[in-house]
Amino acid sequence: MQILAVDDDPAVLGSLAALLRAEHCVTAVGGGAEALAALERCEFDLVLTDLRMPTPDGLAVLRAARDLMPAPRVLVLTAVDTARSALEALRLGACDYLVKPVGPADLLAAVGRAAPGSGADAAGCDYGMVGRSAAIRSVHRLIPLLARSREAVLVMGETGTGKDLLARTIHDQGPRAPEAFVAHNMAATPSELTESIFFGHVRGAFSGATGDHVGLFEQADDGTLFLDEVDSFPMPLQAKLLRVLESASFQRVGSGAERRVDVRVIASSASDLRDLVARGSFRADLFYRLSQLEAVLPALRERPEDIPQLVRQFLDEMAAETKSRADISLPAMEALVRYPWPGNCRELRHSLRGAALMAAGGVILPAHLPRLLRRQGPVPSPVAATGTLREVEREHILRVLKETGGNCSRAAQLLGIDRGTLARKIKAMGLGDGDQA
């Protein structure tokens, strides 16, 4: 890579340059002014800059690099380990930050992650699963293994964590990528139509069957079938689904002819299927067949350090759609990091869209955020919250319902989930009649 190294300490700068020159072309400069001049003259793949320098400082270098086309990635070094300084750097577009003193191995690893086309870069930028947290990096490392395998995969995680995105990534990175990726949400499927939707039917199979219908398994032949919210699959038909998975054959409704397919199945669930098996509402043999390989997506409150990068990605996506770029203030970013995000990444994206509209394309301020976010106050990271996950979720749903005056449609929108999912949660938690939500 072409790397620009910036540090006002000659000893540190010399060490950085010597270490990186073994594998990269390095331009080393001793301050912000020289860095800005170098960025005007040359094109770099990566900028490695100290944060605390005489004016112009590292943030000025970061801003200048961010405005270039094409923009290099920026890795920030800082001697001050404060959440606020790191947050400011990430808010402005830094891909990562390291706290001095940093060992050679850690530095080279960070530079490798920042390299264009690296595994981390691909997983973060191409597929939307950005982040520097250990939790999300463990998911990145799983993707090649899951993609190469022919076995079924069970993706688990709360609503809004990106289970559909991971399923699509597994398909796209595997040998079935040229073939069909067929996704279906089980929670939105009327139980009386499930058999026909999945296995198809022939003309005259039932009243209203005026022609043959090709089911999802046939549509996904040679490709991937994604069963989203598989915990909603009707119990009476689970045996038939298991048979198809084990024999790769089935019959259309109303037909005795056996049809064979070659389909890789990926299933997802926001509920713990083990609990459903224990309660008798999900077949144990089907669970074991679907969970030959497992991936668990972390909740956003478990990786708050990833929120600034997710915010930057979502704002970039909105800029590409609207041709107008919104930015975000540091106080607004701090409010986003403090919030527990029960709706996870989906709720974060929806909140940012609303805030960007309120800001009319300008800088997003705390006043532009939903009221629930503005009321969080100066509390520590949401990771430190006490109580079980179910208790935290229950209390938050109660707060949102109170905030919206019991308007379930608005509450679901704020939570980043669909109305049906909220209704089921309300009923399961004993907060009311979910069917009337």
In whole numbers, what is the pLDDT of the chain averaged over residues? 83
For the stretch 157-186, pLDDT in tens is 999 999 999 999 999 989 999 999 999 998
Residue 302 has pLDDT above 80, yes or no: yes
- Cα gap 258→226, rounded to integer Å: 23
Q: In percent, how much of the chain has pLDDT > 90?
A: 36
Residue 45 has pLDDT above 80, yes or no: yes
Q: ω into residue 101 within 30 of 0, thus cis?
A: yes
At 117, is the pLDDT very low, low, confident or very high (cuts 50, 70, 90)? low
Quote the pLDDT of residue 346: 92
Quote the pLDDT of residue 36: 94
Indicate the domain borders of the chain. 2-116, 134-296, 301-436
- Cα gap 212→253, rounded to integer Å: 10
Full-model pTM = 0.65
Residue 437 has pLDDT above 80, yes or no: no
- Cα gap 317→126, rounded to integer Å: 12
Most confident by average pLDDT, 116-125, 186-195, 203-212: 186-195
The correct CATH number of 301-436 out of 1.10.8.60, 3.40.50.2300, 1.10.150.80, 1.10.3720.10 is: 1.10.8.60
Quote the pLDDT of residue 119: 44
Query: CA torsion, points 197, 202, 206, 210, in degrees to nearest 10?
Result: 100
Beta carbons within 8 Å of 262's beta carbon, 6+ residues apart: 221, 222, 248
For the stretch 356-376, pLDDT in tens is 988 887 889 998 998 888 765
Written as six digits, the tokens of 361 are: 């394309």
Quote the pLDDT of residue 383: 35
- Cα gap 160→142, rounded to integer Å: 20
| Closest residue by Cα to residue 29 from 21, 20, 38 | 38
Phi, psi dihedrals of residue 45, rounded to the nearest 5°: -85, -35
Cα angle vertex 33, ends 31, 36, to 5°? 110
Say which DSSP state 253 is in.
B
| Closest residue by Cα to residue 96 from 112, 104, 105, 80 | 112
Identical fold, 2-116 and 134-296: yes
At 112, is the pLDDT very low, low, confident or very high (cuts 50, 70, 90)? confident
Written as six digits, the tokens of 412 are: 């679901």
Beta carbons within 8 Å of 2's beta carbon, 6+ residues apart: 24, 25, 27, 42, 43, 44, 45, 46
Homologous superfamily of domain range 134-296: P-loop containing nucleotide triphosphate hydrolases (3.40.50.300)
Phi, psi dihedrals of residue 43, rounded to the nearest 5°: -105, 125
Going by CATH, does the domain composed of 2-116 fall within 3.40.980.10?
A: no
| Closest residue by Cα to residue 263 from 337, 333, 199 | 199
For the stretch 221-257, pLDDT in tens is 999 999 999 999 999 899 999 999 999 998 888 888 8
Q: In percent, how much of the chain has pLDDT > 70?
A: 88
Residue 355 has pLDDT above 80, yes or no: yes
Most confident by average pLDDT, 66-70, 286-290, 333-337, 411-415: 286-290
3-state secondary structure (DSSP) of residue 266? strand
Q: ω into residue 54 within 30 of 0, thus cis?
A: no
For the stretch 15-42, pLDDT in tens is 889 899 888 999 999 999 999 999 998 8
